[in-house]
Amino acid sequence: MNLHQQVESVILSNLCHKPGCKVGVEVEYLLFNRHGQRIPVNAGPSYSATDIMNELSCWQKAVCQDINYSLEPGGQIEFASRPFKSLHEVQSQHDLHLGRLRAIAQQEKLWLLDYSLDPLHLPDTVELIVHPKYAAMDQRFRQTGNRGQWMMRNTASVQVNIDITSRTVAEEMAFIADCLSPVASALFANSPFMNGQPTAAENPRAVIWDNTDPARCGELLDQGITSPDGLLDKYINWLLSVPLIFATDEAGAIIPYSGTGEEWLTDIGGNHSITPQQIQAVLHQIFTNVRFKHVVEIRGADRPPIGYELAPAAFWMGLLTARATLEKLLPILRSWSMDYRQRLHRLSSALDLTPG
Residues 35-64 have pLDDT tens digits of 999 999 999 999 999 999 999 999 999 998
* Predicted pLDDT of residue 106: 97
| Mean pLDDT confidence for 278-302 | 96
Q: What architecture (CATH level 2) is domain 3-27+131-347?
A: 2-Layer Sandwich (3.30)
DSSP 199: -
What's the pLDDT band for 273 if we cut at 50, 70, 90? confident
Average pLDDT, the chain: 94
* Predicted pLDDT of residue 161: 97
Among 5-19, 131-145, 156-170, 282-296, the range scoring the smallest mean pLDDT is 5-19
What's the pLDDT band for 353 if we cut at 50, 70, 90? low
Distance CA 343, CA 182 (A): 10
* Predicted pLDDT of residue 252: 84
Backbone torsion region of residue 252, taken as left when φ is above 0, otherwise alpha when ψ lies between -120 and 50, otherwise beta: left
Tell me the three-class secondary structure of 294-340, residue by residue: CCEEECCCECCCCCCCCHHHHHHHHHHCCHHHHHHHHHHHHCCCHHH
Residue 272 pLDDT more than 80?
A: no
100, 13 Cβ separation under 8 angstroms: no
| Mean pLDDT confidence for 108-128 | 96
The DSSP code sequence of 180-220 is HHHHHHHHT----EETTEE-TTB-HHHHHHHTT-TTT-S-G
| Mean pLDDT confidence for 182-197 | 96
Distance CA 4, CA 252 (A): 22
Distances (CA, A) of 1 to 4, 6, 119, 269: 8, 6, 49, 11
Distance CA 352, CA 57 (A): 42
* Predicted pLDDT of residue 356: 52
Residue 355 pLDDT more than 70?
A: no
Looking at the chain, the whole-number percentage of residues with pLDDT higher than 70 is 98
Residues 81-112 have pLDDT tens digits of 999 999 999 999 999 999 999 999 999 999 99
The reported pTM is 0.94
Residues 204-262 have pLDDT tens digits of 999 999 999 999 999 999 999 999 999 999 999 999 999 999 999 888 899 989 899 99
Distance CA 295, CA 12 (A): 8
